[in-house]
Structure 1
Amino acid sequence: MKLEILEQLGLSAREVSIYLALLKMGTASIRDIAAESGINRGTTYETLKDLAGKGIVSYFPKGKRRVFCAEPPERLLELAEEKRQSLEQGIEEMKHTLIPQLNHLKPDFNPGNVRFYEGDSGIEFVLKDILNTIEQQDGKQYSVFSSKPIRQHLYRPFPNYTQQRIRKQINVRVIAIGEGGEDAELSQRKWIDAKGKIDASYIAIYPPKVAMISLASTNYPVAVVIDSTEIASTQQIVFDTLWSTL
């Protein structure tokens, strides 16, 4: 049996052991449960109290002693459902209340508003940040400047990026510098016919952030993410103005 999932419900390994022992025994005293589980009586008693508080174990008097019995395994599923509902409610409250309140505590700008990432793992983090940030917004759209030399390297660490974007119903507008680039669902693309050598660069505008990705020597990717509403807004104006002229 894969019992690790029970620990995800908040049950300790000791609680799982005692619950399983009691489930096998039907009803039993603390002494018998301790003997079956191999856990000392004092710890068994405290653990049984915790399990009773979670509604997984019940007890009743028998003479001068208490005997315990395990609730049916379906109670574990009910516990999981309760935790799931509580977690979903907590996530919604974080999205709409707690996170905005915490963001108000941040200063308008500090050195932490500029972050540097490098290598494939760093670029993957930035790409995931784009999706996660836009997914929480009403418009679900971001804008991109992308040059031809970077395209073959950009999604190397995250090959299913476009599929993830489409699944999340996120739109993107791309101004491609140089030829090429593939059309995809929920994507609009326009081109700038640049002449001469084109450097590898990718700029994503996803307010309140702007990500700038380029290639160092030996095609090593590096990125800078600026978390600034003012900078993102200015970059968005530049993008929108250029978009309207193409």
Structure 2
Amino acid sequence: MDTLLFEKLIRLGLQKNEACVYLSTLEMGEGSIMSISKACNLNRTTCYDILVRLCMCGIINRSLKNKKRIYIAEPPFRLHQYLQSKKRQAEQRLEELEQCLPDLKALYKTNSKPVIKFAEGQKAMEQMYYHKLDSKSTIYSVLNQKNVDIFGEMGAHQSIERYKRGIKEKVLAVKNSKGIGWYKKIYEGNKRRQENTEYRWIEDDEHYKTGGEISIFDDKVNVILSNPEENVAFEIQSQTFADFLKMLFEFSWLHGKKTMDNQ
């Protein structure tokens, strides 16, 4: 048996025994339960159950020859058709899930106490940061890009995807070289992006050493601390806490300086 093909079939979604039975039948062209089970070192009952499943998938067929039941491998393009069918089924299920997701979320209950989730490492932090893309309301963010290198690709992707989804954001940013450079790169001269993401600035101060971002939306407070010695994210889910921080943000927003583009 071709070991490379065997491993590829497993990666395509077949179980080990299914891949073995399929390849053995394909190599033989046709075979009885006894010959196929012997080739795969399986007992006859197990082999029969697998053959029935593969027949239902359309990649093996069964017939009678000299009054004996035999199993015949279908042409390999049948496997392609089967996987295409599985892909369509998965897409349909995702569409159905999207329709019932709001109802499922409505049933999802949290305790009255805040729920706190942590994420460490680049990949886990990115996944938590992208929770912003599920926001149903304007996002309030406090951003300090001093000593921060993590926001490049991650921040750009989030900003573009959020813009496509029509999710607005108010950003209260510390006015330093990195923050200004980021704003110019992503937003300057683009009125539509500025309408989607409004910036106001806090004058830089020596006390503002901690780099990161706090995002407040819906019932969540999403925090990215990205100084090299920290490099951690956490999210607090609490409607009361989120509402309280939104109130503080709105007060701070009134005292922030507008960008030249927004004036």
Q: Secondary structure of 1:202's match? A: strand
CA deviation digits over 1:176-221, x for unaligned, max 9? 12422112254543311144422415311233311234478x7323
Identity %: 25
**Structure 1 pair 74–61 and aligned structure 2 pair: CA distance change class (3 A):** same
**Structure 1 pair 2–25 and aligned structure 2 pair: CA distance change class (3 A):** closer
**Structure 1 pair 237–70 and aligned structure 2 pair: CA distance change class (3 A):** farther
Preserved contact between residue 179 and residue 191 of structure 1 (Cα < 8 Å): no
Partners of 2:63 and 2:43 lie apart in 1 by 21
Q: Secondary structure of 2:51's match? A: helix
User: Counterparts of 1:130-149 in structure 2 under 5 Å?
Assistant: 130-131=129-130, 133-137=131-135, 142-149=139-146
**Structure 1 pair 39–107 and aligned structure 2 pair: CA distance change class (3 A):** closer
Amino acid at match of 1:202: E
Partner of 2:230: 220
TM-score, with length taken from structure 1:
0.77
Partner of 1:203: 214
Partners of 2:19 and 2:5 lie apart in 1 by 12
Question: Per-residue deviation at 1:149?
Answer: 3.4
Partners of 2:198 and 2:48 lie apart in 1 by 65
User: Counterparts of 1:151-190 in structure 2 under 5 Å?
Assistant: 151-152=148-149, 155=150, 160-166=153-159, 168-170=161-163, 172-180=169-177, 181=179, 182-183=182-183, 184=186, 186=193, 188-190=198-200
Question: Per-residue deviation at 1:27?
Answer: 2.1
**Structure 1 pair 91–6 and aligned structure 2 pair: CA distance change class (3 A):** same
Q: How many residues align?
A: 235
**Structure 1 pair 234–26 and aligned structure 2 pair: CA distance change class (3 A):** same
**Structure 1 pair 85–240 and aligned structure 2 pair: CA distance change class (3 A):** farther
User: Counterparts of 1:1-246 in structure 2 under 5 Å?
Assistant: 1-98=4-101, 100-107=103-110, 109-111=112-114, 113-117=115-119, 119=120, 121=121, 124-131=123-130, 133-137=131-135, 142-152=139-149, 155=150, 160-166=153-159, 168-170=161-163, 172-180=169-177, 181=179, 182-183=182-183, 184=186, 186=193, 188-200=198-210, 201-214=212-225, 219-240=229-250, 242-243=252-253, 246=257
Question: Per-residue deviation at 1:108?
Answer: 5.1
Partners of 1:144 and 1:173 lie apart in 2 by 6
- Structure 2: state its 5+ residue gaps: 188-192, 258-263
**Structure 1 pair 94–234 and aligned structure 2 pair: CA distance change class (3 A):** farther
Q: Secondary structure of 1:151's match? A: coil
- Structure 1: state its 5+ residue gaps: none
TM-score, with length taken from structure 2:
0.73
Amino acid at match of 1:208: D
Q: Secondary structure of 1:239's match? A: helix
Instruction: Give the RMSD, CA atoms, in angstroms.
Output: 3.2
Amino acid at match of 1:15: E
